[in-house]
Amino acid sequence: MSDIGIRVFGNQLAITIRVVARHRVAAVIATLVLLPWVVPYEALSVNILLFGLYAVGFNLVYGYTGLLSFGHAAFFGVGAYACGIAVATFDVNWLLAIALGTIVAGFVAMIMGGLAIRTRGIYFAMVTLALAQCVYYILYQWTDLTGGENGLRGVSVQAVNILGLELNLLDPMTKYYVMLVFVALALWIFSRILESPFGAVLEAIRENEKRARACGYDTLRTKWLAFVLSGMFCGLAGALYAIHLSIVPIETANYTMSGQAVMMALLGGMGTFFGPFIGAAAYLLLEDVLTLWTEHWQFFVGALFVFFVLFFPRGIWGSLLHWVQR
Amino acid sequence: MFHSGLQLLCGLVFGGELLHTWPKNALAWEPILAFVDIPLQLWALQIFTGLALGSVLVLLAVGLSLIFGMLAVVNFAHGAFYTVGAFAGVFVFGLTGNFWLGLVAVPLIVGTIGLAVERVLLRPLYGRGVDYPLLLTFGLSYVVVDAIRMIFGKVGLPLSAPAVLQGAVNIGIGYFPLYRLFLIGAMVLIVSGLWLFLEKTSYGLIIRAGARDPEIVRVLGIDVSRVWMVVFGIGTGAAGIAGFLSAPMQSVIPEMGIPVLVQAFVVTVVGGMGSLPGAVVAGLLVGVATSITVMIAPQLADAAMFGLMAIVLLLRPQGLFGHRGLME
Amino acid sequence: MNRQSGRNYHEGQARTSRRSVLKTAAAGATAVAVSPFMFNIARGASDAVRVGLPVPLTGPYGTEAREQARCAQIAVDEFNAAGGLNGRMAELLVRDDKLNPGEAATRTQELIEKDKVHFVCGSLSASVQLAVNEVCKARGVIYMSISQSDEINEVRDFSKYTFHEAMNPHMTTGPVGRYVFPKHGKRIAFLIADYAFGHELVRGLKREGKQYGIEVVAEVKHPIASKDFSTFMPQIQAAKPDVLFLCNFGYDQLNSIKQAIEFGFKNNMQLVVPVLLYTQRLVGGAAYDGVVGGTNYYWELENSIPSAKAFNNSYRKLSNGSPPSDYGAYGYSGVSALLAATRAAGSTDADKVIAGLEALKYDKYKGLQYFRKCDHQSVQSVYIIASKAQAEVKNTYDVFKIVHSEPAGEGILRTCSELGL
């Protein structure tokens, strides 16, 4: 391939990336619209969609504010359980249940954040881990409400009615696009948050918290609010997940789920908009494809993660953006 | 601003959990009512069991605490090294048929692997931020555990304690496994040895100085990076010996390090990151506390441990014996 | 630093022109068209009878899962050798559910939506079974469960598409209790894995024990996947029971037995494990000496039951001489029953096959079995086995002695009304 050819290809790629980065919400949504056609099976694309949202929520706290939390599974899990219990036990309308999941998760984030936010660095990671595990054990022991270790079954939302249109949620494509509407809305809100003055303060805190405080910003309040918002995004992802699987497994609230958020955010690129989705897609697709070829997929996923931490800490998307800027 | 709220909240959280789990299980009320009926003998035996349980936690926490105190690295792969120790022990036993040889060989093997990991994987990350070593060890744990699966298979491997350590003895308050007595003894020996090394030898002095002020130590002409490598090796070696000592009591499976890691974190946090006496006290404390909780309120045992960790982090973040500001 | 320049700093400068947007769209379309994911990997053929099998190939029960998959494949091969369904061959699609209910639900959706399986069979833990069941029943696909669970028969989870080939804890406890209680004494202690399976075992044993006048002297719960049982032992020791029931599964079983021995329990009491696993016994070795328990199958049945011999021989051909395990047998018999009913029904239509299964009488590996109508539970024989002492063992596989056989009968099941059906 000729030298000019490589340069042209590189230029084209760079332009593409720049366009995508500039119109981030539209670009992400466009990609997500195309996703089910590219991915082997629809259930996986729904997983990518929802875990992507989960990673986006986590990214708000880690990538944009600089707080490493190991407790985000609590929000994902609580969102899933709140929505699931509302549908399965109380027969609540699905839209209301999703809203409930989001709000309850935000509430738990408010409490957890309130307790944890004074700590910094590794302490913060450890406190969030410990508090999230407390939430996990409460959910685990409250068998009558949550089903305990067998999980919650019966979250059956098979047909929904949107503006008079009857949609069959058992059809995977329909389910995907219905959930995409929620995720798109969440992403739009997320983008607006980042572009607001609040978003700028978040990034200032990540860069240098002491200086941000010296500039007069109430960093404690800001961090707390970011934590709550992050919890709500993760809760929404959890609520949708409950409807997607029609069950809520207890594992959704376990710390391994927190670890997954960290892995996906790092693989994709922390502090970038597109990154978490790429990270979620990469992680889930890799896991899926590897499972077909070897039973030792954990080895390869772990090794890839180590590789990224060492050589591409900006993640896939972050590294691409960085390359484009040079 | 948050302290009174914190207390209120802790009360709410635990009270809520208690209310929701206890009344449904009538059997759970009995332990409270039978509190006074539990004979002193059983209390004593249960406490003793807790000491044995705590011994493994102490060995783990000592390693974790050392690594954190010196390198400021939260070693998420500690459970994986524990597992490596157990499997290395099985391997050595398979080769030589000698358990005692394993006691010497295992920490050396695991420590060497630790040295390599620090040199190759962790060293490039210093200076980049506190999170990166943590993240790397997190990913590393997956790799190590699956590598063990690839080498040794998925099925549990048996390792028996030597015949001289098998069986139970009557320690006055009841029958207690001889092997667990040995475990407590081994822990005391290892921790004393480590303490002597750190306090009484010149290399130990370098290590302690390096924890206090790496810059000055470097100025004095000592290769701090090499010291860090050695400390990581010692820490992982401790995890390895903990794994080996645990192996005869349970089946040696690749997943054995996963629950243990979280327990080790709890102990290290409670004792104080970077403090050796803290690790010992907290390890034994958590072991005994778990043992007692199991007897009187089994449903709370797991939650209680994390609740304790959360409370310590929020009220006295440096732990029982640690120094302030170490983790910020 | 104003917001606009901040954004540009992070995400690069670009002048949006229609040309660049069009170029991006073209690039995107090309990427989709050549995506490697357009190729199907390991998918089913178009007119085959497809059976999905989600099992935990990775994780601590990988060995049992592989057994199930291997034996299920034997069932499929036998079906095909006999001509299939009017010439349509059967196909087994094995997927790894990683012992995780969320993963299992995703895989089951994949199997049903992408691979268009007609039936699903699997898997190993109770929570995973219930998850797979939930997904299947919503989509009208028959699910044949091959692992122990009491809840799958109960009204909350049951549906007409739910079938349970494996025994449930209640069925195991009746025969075990009836064998143990008169033989070993009245003071009973329980060490219970604190999840549904453990509780169900205790419930069944207590119920059976009432008529023998047993006295429960200790009831100790442990969290599942405990590694250390030492904190539970002193209480049991202090209670001085005649019999200790270890109501747990898998590695919990092995670890608790090992540690019970450490505390000297074997000298003072009889250890009983209601669900005694063959694979764990092979791993655990001498620790299991003298332990008594219940099972659905032990290969030595081939000496008295012809179908057992046939099954064992088919298995031996694939395994270089080693006999099948208890859980493997479930895999074989579950899939066999499914395919037999399909043949009887003459089609893969769910309702017809359900009717076929309900009417089916089959003898695949241990004598006559059939599905009870109200809860689709497979009525089958139960065996009490005692672990042989090391001295008596003749070869690697000769680990148990069958001390009692309970013939198939609805008496050991809970009544339909009790289940709410």
Using left for φ > 0, alpha for ψ between -120 and 50, and beta otherwise, residue C128 falls in: alpha
Chain C residues close to B53, C-beta within 8 Å: 228, 230-231
**Shortest CB distance from C102 goes to which of A17, A249, A271?**
A249
Q: Whole domain around residue B74: which residue ranges?
A: 47-160+169-255
Which range of B100-114, B209-223, C9-23 scores highest in mean pLDDT? It is: B100-114
Short-list B260, B222, B233, B243, CA closest to B122: B233
CA dihedral C352→C357→C358→C363, nearest 10 degrees, is 150
- Indicate yes or no: CB of A126 within 8 angstroms of CB of B17: no
Kindly tell me if the per-residue pLDDT of C66 is higher than 70.
yes
pLDDT of residue C230: 86
Among A41-50, A146-155, A196-205, B286-295, the range scoring the smallest mean pLDDT is: B286-295
**C121 and C12 within one domain:** yes
Specify the pairing of strand A159-162 against strand A152-153: unpaired
Cβ–Cβ of C283/B155 closer than 8 Å?
yes
| Pair of tokens at residue B173 | 């308050």
Rounded to the nearest angstrom, the minimum Cα separation between B298 and chain C is 7
Co-location of C44 and C145 in the same domain:
yes
Report the alpha-carbon distance of residue C142 to residue C130 in Å, rounded. Answer: 13
CATH of residue A174: 1.10.3470
pLDDT (0 to 100) of residue B37: 63
Residues C72 and C15 in one domain: yes
Domain containing residue C116: 2-167+305-379
For residue C29, give how far its alpha carbon lies from the nearest alpha carbon of chain B (Å): 35
β-bridge mates for residue C121, sequence order: C144
Burial of C213 (0-12, 13-18, 19+ CB in 10 A): exposed
CA gap B142, B124 in Å, rounded: 20
User: C41 to chain A: which residues are within 8 Å by CB?
Assistant: 40, 289, 292
DSSP 3-state of A259? helix
Q: What is the DSSP secondary-structure string of B83-146?
A: HHHHHHHHHHHHHH--HHHHHHHHHHHHHHHHHHHIIIIIGGGTTS-THHHHHHHHHHHHHHHH
Contact C3 A324 (CB under 8 A): no
Share of chain A above pLDDT 70, in %: 100
**Confidence (pLDDT) at C72:** 95
- Give the pLDDT mean for B213-236: 88
Task: Identify which of A126, A266, A313 has the shortest CB distance to residue B313.
Answer: A126
Q: CA-to-CA distance for C219 and B254, rounded, in angstroms? A: 30
Q: What is the pTM of this model?
A: 0.86
Report whether pLDDT(B301) > 80: no
Residue B206 pLDDT > 60, yes or no? Answer: yes
CB C334 within 8 A of CB C72: yes
Q: How far is B295 from chain C (nearest CA, A)?
A: 7
Looking at per-residue confidence, does C291 or B307 come out higher?
C291
Does residue A126 contact residue B309 with C-beta atoms inside 8 Å? yes
In single-letter form, the type of residue at position C307 comes to: S
C127's CB contacts (< 8 A; 6+ apart) are A149, A150, A151, A249, A250, C101
Q: Does A114 touch chain B (CB under 8 A)?
A: yes
- How distant is the Cα of A189 from the closest Cα of chain B, in angstroms? 28
Residue predicted with more confidence, B23 or A18: A18
Asked if the Cβ–Cβ distance from C238 to B298 is below 8 Å, we say no
Contacts of A129 in chain B (CB under 8 A): 265
CB of C168 closer than 8 Å to CB of C200:
yes
How far, in Å, CA of A239 to CA of A80, rounded?
A: 4
ipTM tops 0.95 = no
pLDDT on residue B35: 54
Question: Which chain A residue has the Cα nearest residue B133?
Answer: A309
CB contacts < 8 A (A, C):
146
In a domain? residue C265 = yes
pLDDT at B134 over 80: yes
Are residues C272 and C189 part of one domain? yes
Closest CA to A129 of A309, A259, A237, A249: A259
> In this model, does residue B30 exceed pLDDT 80?
no
Which range scores top for mean pLDDT: A12-26, B34-48, C284-298? C284-298
The reported pLDDT for the residue numbered A289 is: 85
Q: Can you say whether the dihedral through the CA atoms of C15, C16, C20, C24 is positive or negative? A: positive
A123–B317 CB contact, under 8 Å: yes
- Measured in angstroms, the CA of B122 and the nearest CA of chain A are apart by 9
How many structural domains are present in chain C? 2
**Nearest CB partner across the interface for B49, out of C225, C227, C230:** C230
Alpha helices (H) in chain A, listed in sequence order: 3-22, 24-38, 42-62, 73-88, 94-116, 121-141, 143-146, 172-195, 197-207, 209-214, 219-245, 255-268, 275-293, 297-311, 315-325
Closest by Cβ to B177, choosing from C63, C219, C262: C262
Q: Give the nearest chain A residue to C57 (CA atoms).
A: A295
Interchain CB distance below 8 Å, C23 and A42: no
Contacts of B168 in chain C (CB under 8 A): 262-264
CB A169 within 8 Å of CB A160:
yes
Query: Are A105 and A232 within 8 A, CB to CB?
Result: yes
Q: Strand, helix or coil at A247? A: strand
C219 and B27 within 8 Å at the Cβ level: the answer is yes
At residue C45, the pLDDT reads 60
Compute the average pLDDT of residues C19-48.
47
pLDDT category at B9 given cuts 50, 70, 90 is: low
Q: Are residues C336 and C324 part of one domain?
A: yes
Distances (CA, A) of C396 to B270, C283, C386: 48, 11, 16
DSSP H or E stretch at residue C221: strand C215-222
Of the two residues B223 and C118, the one the predictor is more confident about is C118
Token representation of residue B257: 């390090």
Best C55, C262, C269, C280 member to test B by mutation, with max B CBs in 10 Å, is: C262
Residue C192 is part of a domain; what is its CATH number? 3.40.50.2300
Size of interface B-C (CB pairs under 8 A): 100
Residues 6+ apart with CB under 8 A from C26: none
B63 or A295: whose pLDDT is higher? B63
What count of other Cβ atoms lies within 10 Å of the Cβ of residue C405? Answer: 15
For residue B154, list chain C residues with Cβ-Cβ distance below 8 A. Answer: 59-60, 62-63
Min Cα separation C19/chain B (Å): 40
Euclidean distance between the first and final Cα of chain B, in Å?
Answer: 20
What CA–CA distance (Å, rounded) separates B166 from C287? Answer: 12
* Alpha helices for C186-232 (secondary structure H): 196-210
Q: How far apart are CA C405 and CA C219, in angstroms?
A: 28
What part of C 164-223 touches B (C-beta under 8 Å)? 194, 219-223
**pLDDT, mean of residues A132-161:** 89
Mean pLDDT of B176-182: 88
Query: Hey, is the C-beta of A142 within 8 angstroms of any chain B C-beta?
Result: yes
Contacts of B42 in chain C (CB under 8 A): 234-235, 238
Residue B282 lies in a domain: no
Residues of chain B with a CB closer than 8 angstroms to some CB in chain C: 27, 39, 41-42, 45-46, 49-50, 52-53, 56, 154-158, 166-168, 174-177, 179-180, 246, 249-251, 253, 255-256, 259-260, 290-291, 294-295, 298-299, 301-302
Q: How many domains are there within chain B?
A: 1
CB B268 within 8 A of CB B64: yes
Mean pLDDT score, A198-202: 90
Give the closest-approach CA distance of C94 to chain A in angstroms: 10
Distance CA B117, CA B133 (A): 11
State how far the Cα of A190 lies from the Cα of A4, in Å rounded to an integer.
40
Which subunits have 3 or more CB–CB pairs within 8 Å of chain B?
A: A, C
Same domain assignment for residues C32 and C134: yes
B77 is a domain residue = yes
Q: How many domains in chain A?
A: 1
In chain B, % of residues over pLDDT 70: 87
pLDDT, one tens digit per residue, over C334-392 is 999 999 999 999 999 999 999 999 999 999 999 899 999 999 999 999 999 999 988 88
E strand segments, A39-117: none
* Chain A residue with Cα closest to C12: A325
Chain A, 50 to 79: residues with Cβ < 8 Å from chain B are: 68
* CB contacts, 8 Å: B299 with chain C: 194, 221
- Give the tokens for residue C141: 């696909």
The pLDDT, as a whole number, for residue A40 is 82
Residue C163 bridge partners (DSSP): C144
When comparing pLDDT for B289 and A109, which is higher? Answer: A109
Higher pLDDT, B19 or C140: C140
How many angstroms separate the CA of residue C172 from the nearest CA in chain B? 24
Question: In this structure, what DSSP letter does residue B166 have?
Answer: -
How far from C344 is each of A37, A189, C162, C370, CA to CA, in Å? 39, 57, 19, 14
Shortest alpha-carbon distance between residue C24 and chain A (Å): 5
Is residue C119 a contact partner of residue C142, using CB atoms and an 8 Å limit? Answer: yes
Integer Cα distance of B60 and C408 in angstroms: 51
C-alpha to C-alpha distance for A27 and C20, rounded to whole angstroms: 13
When mean pLDDT is compared across B299-308, C143-152, C262-271, the lowest value belongs to B299-308
Contacts of C277 by beta carbon, 8 Å cutoff, 6+ apart: C64, C249, C250, C253, C295, C325, C326, C327
A20:C24 CB<8 A:
yes
The helix or strand, by DSSP H or E, that contains position A305, with its residue range, turns out to be helix A297-311
**Does residue C421 fall inside a structural domain?**
no
As to burial, measured by CB atoms within 10 angstroms (0-12 exposed, 13-18 middle, 19+ buried), residue B218 is middle
Do C329 and C270 share a structural domain?
no
User: How close is the nearest chain B Cα to the Cα of C357, in Å?
Assistant: 35
Once rounded to an integer, what is the mean pLDDT over residues C402-407? 92
Calculate mean pLDDT across residues C283-290: 86
Nearest to A320 by CA among C12, C35, C21: C12
Instruction: Give pLDDT tens digits for B43-100.
Output: 888 888 889 889 999 999 999 998 988 888 889 999 999 999 999 999 999 898 889 9
Q: Most confidently modeled of B249-263, C70-84, C218-232, C256-270?
A: C70-84
The answer to whether residue C276 sits within a structural domain is yes
Mean pLDDT computed over C279-294? 88
Residues of C in contact with A285 (CB under 8 A): 37
Phi, psi of C225 (to 5 degrees): 60, 30
Residue C4 scores a pLDDT above 60:
no
pLDDT tens per residue across span A227-263 = 999 999 999 999 999 999 999 999 999 988 999 999 9
Cβ-based contacts of C258 with chain B (< 8 Å):
249-251
Q: Contact A321/C6, CB-based, under 8 Å?
A: no
- The mean pLDDT of A94-106, rounded to a whole number, is 95
Handedness of CA B317, B318, B324, B328 (dihedral sign): negative
Q: Say which range, A46-55, C41-50, C378-387, has the weakest mean pLDDT.
A: C41-50
Measuring CA to CA, which residue among C215, A300, C293 is closest to residue B149? A300
List C-alpha distances in Å: C99 to B239, C96, C103: 28, 8, 8
DSSP classification of residue C323: P
Q: Both tokens of residue C206?
A: 């207590």
Return the number of other C-beta atoms located less than 10 Å from residue C22's C-beta.
10
> For residue C347, is the peptide bond before it cis, meaning its omega torsion is within 30 degrees of 0?
no
Which pLDDT value is given to residue C12?
A: 32
Closest chain B residue to the Cα of A145, Cα to Cα: B20
Split at pLDDT 50, 70, 90, the class of C145 is very high
Rounded distance between C-alpha atoms, residue C295 and residue C385, angstroms: 7
**Phi, psi angles (nearest 5°) of residue A161:** -120, 110
The reply to whether C392 and C345 lie within a common domain is no
